[in-house]
Amino acid sequence: MPLSIIQFAKKVGMTKEELRVRSSSLGFNIEADAKVIEDDLADLLYEEFTNELKDTADAYDEIIGKELEKEIIKTQRKKTAGKPPLKEKKANEAPAPTTSRDKKTIIEIPDTISVKEFAEKTGLTPVQVIGQLMHNGILANINQQIDYETAHIIAQEMSIQIKRKHTAAESEDILKGDIEKLLKEDDPSLLVTRPPVVSIMGHVDHGKTQLLDSIRNTNVIATEAGGITQHIGAYQINKKGKIITFLDTPGHEAFTAMRARGARATDIAILVVAADEGVKPQTIEAINHAKEAKIPIIVALNKMDKPNANPQRVMGELSEYGLNPEEWGGDTIMVPVSALKNQGLDKLLEMILVVAELSDLKANPTRPAVGTVIEAHLDTNLGPVATILINAGTLKIMDSVIVGGTHGRIKLMKDANNNRLNQLKPSDVAQIAGLNKTPQAGDLLQVVNNERIARQKAEEISGLIKEGAIQNMGMGLSEIVNQIQEGKLKTVKVVLKADTKGSLEAIKESIANELKSAEVAVKIIHSGVGNITESDVMMAAASQGLVIGFHTNVTPQVDRLSERLRTEVVVYKIIYELLDDLKKLLMGLLEPEIAIVELGKAKVLKIFYTQKTEMVLGCKILEGKAKAKAKIRVEHQKEIIGEGILESLKIVNEEVKEVEKGGECGIRFKGKPKIEEGDILQFYTEETRHKTL
């Protein structure tokens, strides 16, 4: 039963109008004529308002801290007057002041910690810590952050044992979504079995959605919320006391898009094949995508209720693609089902549990949580909400988190059955609220110590995103060549698309015959007839390979995606050229084709600032456009006098990415040439071009 607005305002000590204004300043919208307030929103606001009170108390602490600091500085000045600050502790110096803490306990300290927290954790008084820091030449106040290395020196001097705690990963790792790196440090003895996460794939209309709905409906867990369910991108069921997590955006496109972003969000793929239709193009794509991700496949032979269902024929077709049914001596589990009539679903779930057990899925539930965004959107009431799948650790209410380039505190967690949760364990999924901005599917979530670190890391990451280091999962051609030259890459993975079945087979055969002796092998991870799709690019990106097309088109969308994911798409019109290039590539001899793209010209009207290698210039764009990060040739009296880089671009005070012809802008130029008023700047970029022979 929602609370009346008046009642709620009273509860938080405000008038209705005050409540509206304060809520809106926090980004929550309450309509002027609203009579009631939804429970979720009421909880969130209550949390925010009580936090504000806490913040005021913290500010008060800070003032007291500053006074304390002044006192300490005074006494230390008296004591150390005339002595230089000591960097190293002398061996024969008297032991540090004793503390009440047992010296044998090892205290976990994160990468950075405030003086106050460090004092609390080590049982020292803030005065002792500040004094010791001063002793080492560091002037710090009680709220100041010290790094682990400094904390270690202080701890040693005070005879306290500390060790480094699991902390936020490097921003680059979070940005790149390098989840393996994030999770790798886990102590194996802390790992415990976690539920499997399952994705459903298959050809369109073979019954993926129906299967997800039927599994969910036949396994609804009684909920506090009275069985009202919502689609949040994933749900969990309980089968004989064992949990299974299903991602409910079916299709290999969603699956590979996540993988291309570095996310690890699926343990088992269910391949839905309609028993009346058999293997279709997307069935083959799904098989290849799952195989490339090295996850086990269970086949659901669907629509068994149909009179023309022919499972034997379908099994035969599947075995051509390497999926051999168990009953024929193979190792692929195939379960006949009817998603529509709820037949065979129990058996399918049992098989999922069997495969999960064989896969030995484990995670450490005790570490700070690491998770993956399954989907996210902006809710009119709750602000940004995201569905999170937990990869490891435990996520709790009020945890501070970094999610992609944003951050926040977990203020609300709800599962697909509308149950409010206080914590999430590995493989659990829930919708969360409390983030500052809406993240993207595939972004990584990471719990950090406090909001300050979350904010700082998120800013670093946003900075990296702005600089263009975005989602570089793929490997450009020059990187592939480099890796081959260095002997690091032994297999080049290729997604091959051709206009006809005949040419596709011919190319595959030639690759198999003519390139088999090369030291570096070519592995075709997917091939098909038709144009290059975004899904092809994502698959190549996720496997750090490239896409080769033969007589196919490259749409602008594919072009943009390949650039964003830094994945090469090369198109040929002659088989011989394709093979020749591949041969050169395998020998590490292929040089990428670099093309210069002229962007535009500008006249320098004013010099605002000059430094050794940096200048700020007021310019007018004469032709084309200026683009941030473009290269610049400097033209002085019709002669090129040098080159540099367009570091950043501003219109008045706002940073922009581009300025078009006629526009006036401020340009931060990096480079050696000394530019004068009246000079012309020529902007250009270098691109590795798609080959169209």
Could you list the residues that contact ligand GDP (CB under 6 A)? 202, 204-210, 250, 302-303, 305-306, 338-340
- Report in angstroms how near the CB of residue 571 gets to ligand GDP at its nearest: 31
Q: Among 526, 527, 531, which Cα is nearest to 554's? A: 531
- Report in angstroms how near the CB of residue 292 gets to ligand GDP at its nearest: 21
Q: What residues contact residue 246 under an 8 Å CB cut-off, 6+ apart? A: 197, 198, 199, 200, 212, 215, 216, 234, 235, 236, 237
- Report in angstroms how near the CB of residue 311 gets to ligand GDP at its nearest: 13
- Report in angstroms how near the CB of residue 491 gets to ligand GDP at its nearest: 33
- Report in angstroms how near the CB of residue 433 gets to ligand GDP at its nearest: 29
Give CA separation, 443 vs 16, 274, 404, 425, in Å.
38, 33, 5, 18
Q: How far apart are CA 139 and CA 131, in angstroms?
A: 9
Q: What residues contact residue 342 under an 8 Å CB cut-off, 6+ apart? A: 214, 218
Tokens of 486: 């260095």
- Report in angstroms how near the CB of residue 206 gets to ligand GDP at its nearest: 5
Q: In terms of CB distance, is 314 or 484 closer to ligand GDP?
A: 314
Q: In terms of CB distance, is 205 or 623 closer to ligand GDP?
A: 205
Say if CB 97 and CB 128 are below 8 A apart. Answer: yes
Say if CB 142 and CB 69 are below 8 A apart. Answer: yes
Q: In terms of CB distance, is 211 or 403 closer to ligand GDP?
A: 211
Residues in a beta bridge with 665: 619
- Report in angstroms how near the CB of residue 210 gets to ligand GDP at its nearest: 3
- Report in angstroms how near the CB of residue 542 gets to ligand GDP at its nearest: 22
- Report in angstroms how near the CB of residue 202 gets to ligand GDP at its nearest: 6
Tokens of 290: 């799952």
Q: What is the DSSP letter of 689?
A: P
Q: In terms of CB distance, is 215 or 401 closer to ligand GDP?
A: 215
Residues in a beta bridge with 493: 523
Q: In terms of CB distance, is 305 or 379 closer to ligand GDP?
A: 305
β-strands 639-651, 631-636 pairing: antiparallel
Q: How far apart are CA 306 and CA 339, in angstroms?
A: 11
Q: In terms of CB distance, is 207 or 368 closer to ligand GDP?
A: 207
- Report in angstroms how near the CB of residue 344 gets to ligand GDP at its nearest: 9
Q: In terms of CB distance, is 266 or 338 closer to ligand GDP?
A: 338
Q: How far apart are CA 36 and CA 41, in angstroms?
A: 11
DSSP strand E in 418-471: where? 423-424, 429-435, 444-448
Say if CB 411 and CB 434 are below 8 A apart. Answer: yes
Q: In terms of CB distance, is 264 or 303 closer to ligand GDP?
A: 303
Say if CB 489 and CB 459 are below 8 A apart. Answer: no
* Residue type (1 letter), 509: E
Q: Which single residue brings its beta carbon nearest to ligand GDP?
A: 207
Tokens of 565: 């994911």
β-strands 383-392, 400-403 pairing: unpaired
Q: In terms of CB distance, is 209 or 450 closer to ligand GDP?
A: 209
Q: In terms of CB distance, is 204 or 398 closer to ligand GDP?
A: 204
Q: Among 334, 210, 319, which Cα is nearest to 270's? A: 334
Q: Among 322, 295, 360, which Cα is nearest to 542's? A: 295
Q: Among 248, 246, 247, 323, which Cα is nearest to 278's? A: 323
- Report in angstroms how near the CB of residue 231 gets to ligand GDP at its nearest: 13
Q: In terms of CB distance, is 301 or 489 closer to ligand GDP?
A: 301
Helix 126-135 vs helix 115-122: angle between axes, to the nearest 10 degrees?
110
Q: In terms of CB distance, is 125 or 209 closer to ligand GDP?
A: 209
Helix, coil or strand: residue 648 = strand
- Report in angstroms how near the CB of residue 336 gets to ligand GDP at its nearest: 10
Q: How far apart are CA 271 and CA 354, in angstroms?
A: 16
Q: In terms of CB distance, is 338 or 446 closer to ligand GDP?
A: 338
- Report in angstroms how near the CB of residue 359 gets to ligand GDP at its nearest: 25
Q: How far apart are the first and last CA of the chain?
A: 68
Q: In terms of CB distance, is 20 or 303 closer to ligand GDP?
A: 303
Q: How far apart are CA 626 and CA 668, in angstroms?
A: 12
- Report in angstroms how near the CB of residue 546 gets to ligand GDP at its nearest: 30
Say if CB 383 and CB 370 are below 8 A apart. Answer: no
Say if CB 407 and CB 454 are below 8 A apart. Answer: yes
